[in-house]
Amino acid sequence: MTQVGSPAHTLNDLDAMSIEQAQALSFEERDSLLDLIIADGRHDATGSVSYRSGMYTDFFDEDLTRMLKVKAVKVYVRGTTPSDFDGEVVGDNFMEQYRACFRHVETTLTAGRTSFSRVVNMVVFLTNMDNWAKFNEVFREFVPNPPCRAVIGTTGLAQPPLTIEIVDCFAYRVAD
């Protein structure tokens, strides 16, 4: 998935390439460039530091030309809760449920051949916004790079014991 070390090419190199030249690069080279594209697309609206700084970015600028050049594929994960495949809620408290939910998303991202490091957007419902700080603690455990994010308080989810649902999450990967 994500290459360790310095990439063989820069975004300037990619911008100078034709689509054909870029798509002729090895999978590893395109994969490394995707990380640079995603990092370059994350933006804050101002340079001002706010209470939420570091938790999410204000917007993601999807550069479709660059994405096309590296053969990027968008992976969607939706409607993920801490329920197992039998519909039973995993976790006896909200922290365990939060971690179970993020582990389920991680499983799906892995199956989609991507990871939390490439997530650029996430929408989450919480049934108790009093747990905001604890949610952010778990969020930091799983999500290394700040995506665009919305966390919305709700009075309930599909099953009454559920405390969290990751309603929408999308990431990128490079096609073979």
Strands 148-153 and 59-60: unpaired
Is the pLDDT at 50 greater than 60? The verdict is yes
9: confidence class by pLDDT, cuts 50, 70, 90: very high
Answer yes or no: are the C-beta atoms of 7 and 113 closer than 8 Å.
no
- What per-residue confidence (pLDDT) applies to 76? 97
One-letter amino acid for residue 49 of the chain: V
Residue-wise pLDDT for 18-49, tens only, equals 999 999 999 999 999 999 999 999 988 887 76
Distances in whole angstroms, Cα of residue 19 to Cα of each of 13, 16, 62, 64, 140: 12, 10, 17, 12, 36
Q: Which of 2-11, 48-57, 85-94, 119-128 has the highest mean pLDDT?
A: 119-128
Q: Report the residue count for the chain.
A: 176
- What per-residue confidence (pLDDT) applies to 56? 81
Residue-wise pLDDT for 65-117, tens only, equals 999 999 999 999 999 999 988 888 898 899 999 999 999 999 999 999 999 99
- What per-residue confidence (pLDDT) applies to 114? 98
Residue-wise pLDDT for 125-173, tens only, equals 999 999 999 999 999 999 999 899 999 999 999 888 899 999 999 999 9
Distance CA 54, CA 50 (A): 9
- What per-residue confidence (pLDDT) applies to 51? 61
- What per-residue confidence (pLDDT) applies to 28? 95
Residue appearing with tokens 């499983």:
107
Distance CA 112, CA 104 (A): 12
Backbone angles phi, psi at 80, to 5 degrees: -95, 130
- What per-residue confidence (pLDDT) applies to 105? 96
- What per-residue confidence (pLDDT) applies to 58? 86
- What per-residue confidence (pLDDT) applies to 71? 98
Distance CA 52, CA 55 (A): 6
- What per-residue confidence (pLDDT) applies to 1? 45
| Entry pTM | 0.89
- What per-residue confidence (pLDDT) applies to 3? 43
Residue appearing with tokens 């990439």:
7
Secondary structure E strands in 11-163: 42-43, 59-60, 72-80, 119-126, 148-153
Answer yes or no: are the C-beta atoms of 23 and 71 closer than 8 Å.
yes
Write the class of the CATH domain 11-174: alpha beta
User: Quick one: 138 exposed, middle or buried, by C-beta within 10 A (0-12, 13-18, 19+)?
Assistant: buried
